[in-house]
Chain A
Amino acid sequence: MTRYIAQRLLILPFLMVIYSFVIFLIIQAPPGDFLTAYVATLASSGSSISADQIAALRHQYGLDQPFLVQYFLWMQNLLHGDFGLSLEYQRPNADLISEQLGLTLALALFSFVLTWAIAVPAGIYSATHPRSLIDHVLTVINYVGVATPNFMLALILMWMAFAYFDINVTGLYSPEFVDAPWSFARVGDLLFHIWLPGLVLGIAGTARLSRIMRANLLDELNKPYVVTARAKGMREWRLVLRYPVRLAFNPLVSTIGWYLPALFSGSLIVATVMNLPNIGPLLLRALINQDMYLAGGILLIYSFLTIVGTLLSDVLLALIDPRIRVES
């Protein structure tokens, strides 16, 4: 088990190197660079900048170097924890990212917990009461949930809240708390605001997860070991929770590997629509303005979270499933 985890951890740096190269390729790909965009902005606002200054800036940022040199410079800095300077904000990228990272993670985790808290019981109910009225209702909700893009749901909820209740549900804080220092009141305010985006973000996942849970559990309920447990004289609900649910759960755990990362990147769209403090909108701006090192840094973090998510789910699966644990 320890060896298995160690192996996975050893591969992690190699994966990150591959990803970083691909990411660098992508952020380098747009024609022109930040300075071209910057000059254009300056020109449109009436001010101008001399060719010498541009050349100096280009040199300062290393934009005049060949591709591979730029990549190695970037990697070298990254290894020292230096994410470079945002060309647009003129601040260290590391600061910009870390300001948003905490809440990005909090939103994803909150949504994750919400998803599981809803999906698992719903799936269990549906599987143990197949073709019942509630099962049918849940099925309809599931289909619609999967079919509704996150941002549509966000738009609809925001519009209804605004049009019918005259409240603005954007942001993660009430206005008085936006710039306030951390306090219990602020945390409370955050918890009050986070559930709506959390729900919006998780709705498709909830629907999908409860479908998986239902299908798995239906499968497991037909296995002979369930008959064995019944033949022992166990109470039905206890038996269902202890045996088939436990087994139906395992494949679900392996979905954490893709679901958690999907939440991180999914929050990008919801955060943009609902105006949440999140690295998503930051990435969007960076991409549009060709703030390449900021974009690159954020993409790297997304990749890192993705790998860690997959690793976590594999380890968790090995922990709860003895068949995998013994083999690895």
Chain B
Amino acid sequence: MNQETPLLQVRDLRVSFQLDEGVVRAVDGTSFDVMPGQVLGIVGESGCGKSVTMKAILQLVDRPGQIDTGEIKFVRADGEMVDLAKLSARGATIREIRGGEIALIPQEPMASFSPVHTVGDQIIEAILLHSHRWEKDGHKITRRAAREITVGLFRDVGISMPEQRVDAYSWQLSGGLRQRAMIAMALSCKPRLLIADEPTTAIDVTTQAQVLALLRDLQVKYNTAIIFITHDLGVIAQMASYVVVMYLGRVMEQGPVDAIFHAPKHPYTRALLRSIPSMYGQTRVALPVISGTLPHPFNRPPGCAFHPRCADVMPACSVGVPRLLPVGDDQLASCFLHHDEAEPV
């Protein structure tokens, strides 16, 4: 186990949506850590609760969703530890943390900028909101200075003609440029944790490679911790040093990237890996081909959520929910193949 204090500790997080049709348990007992400067990859089929988990970290879960239980411990810049799950969604503390300490690159870059404000405007606004992060010798930062910073950021993320592009509207930019602008905005306040929610899903393969390279460079340059979300194992292999595999709102397995790819312990991880033709190939695998279909969110299977599709299913699997426990060096799995501890009911 790593001896450092984690930057972020998520423990047994549960988020549910109360809909007219029933309750959706989007996140159902998820736990993982993020170390300072680490790139954590989270992988899972779409709909497994990755985005909702990230929104929960920033207290951004939309109505009618709510955080039911769990802890989200975050070490702030001044060393103080706060439980984000307990903060008020509209309070001053969470607003300082949002953008200032934890930045989010949302899943849909196309619609994530307002179409009637220039991208520059929206980034300048973010800088001014957390202006103390840029202040020198106690001088308040001016709007013009913020604009200069934005132009610089655009240059850093590889946007050509940054002066002109600052005044463009998002719909005037190509998909790749928009994603770069979004990254610039996320970096604008020098966050200590960057959450990138499927940053490469909506763009073409070449641009995808460029964006990944950019994120890697920036991570090295600023030593920012990154939570990198994708449903694409190939991308995970290129980016992450540590991997969390999620299924139906729960962590199935987590471990260092090598362990996950070469010594997977959980049947779900193995199934995921089998579904990629060539592990490091450039082809994006849309969805892993695993027998059976993803259950409807309203009727989660009892016991291990994966049991209706699992090749190694045992009688116990449909009774108890397996706990996430160590199965190797720095590697954890929730599967009765490796232990027989069920979650307390």
Contacts and interface: CB of A to CB of B under 8 A. Distances in A.
A/B touching: CB–CB < 8 A: yes
Contacts of B216: none
A326 B60 CA distance: 33
B139 interface: no
Contact of A231 (B99, B113, B114, B116): B99
Interface of B: 55, 58, 60, 62, 90, 94-100, 103-104, 106-108, 111-117, 122, 125-126, 129-130, 169, 171-172, 182, 185
A58 B113 CA distance: 69
A190 B116 CA distance: 40
A225 B108 CA distance: 9
Interface string A314-328: 000000111100100
A15 interface: no
A126 B25 CA distance: 28
Interface of A: 222-225, 227-236, 243, 246-247, 250, 320-323, 326
Given A224-B112, A247-B114, A247-B115, A231 B169 contact: no
Nearest to A249: B116
* Main SS at interface, chain A: helix
Contacts of A232: 98-99, 125-126, 129, 185
Given A236-B90, A322-B169, A323-B169, A231 B115 contact: no
Nearest to A222: B62
A9 to B, nearest CB: 26
B231 to A, nearest CB: 18
Contacts of B60: 227, 230-231
Contacts of A250: 116
Instruction: Choose among A233, A236, A326 the residue with the greatest number of B CB atoms under 10 Å from its CB.
Output: A233
A224 B107 contact: yes
Given A228-B122, A322-B169, 9 more contacts: A224-B111, A225-B112, A227-B62, A228-B185, A231-B58, A231-B106, A233-B99, A247-B116, A326-B169
Nearest to A236: B90
B101 to A, nearest CB: 9
B97 A233 contact: yes
Contacts of B125: 232, 234
Contact of B111 (A225, A229, A236, A320): A225
A227 B63 CA distance: 12
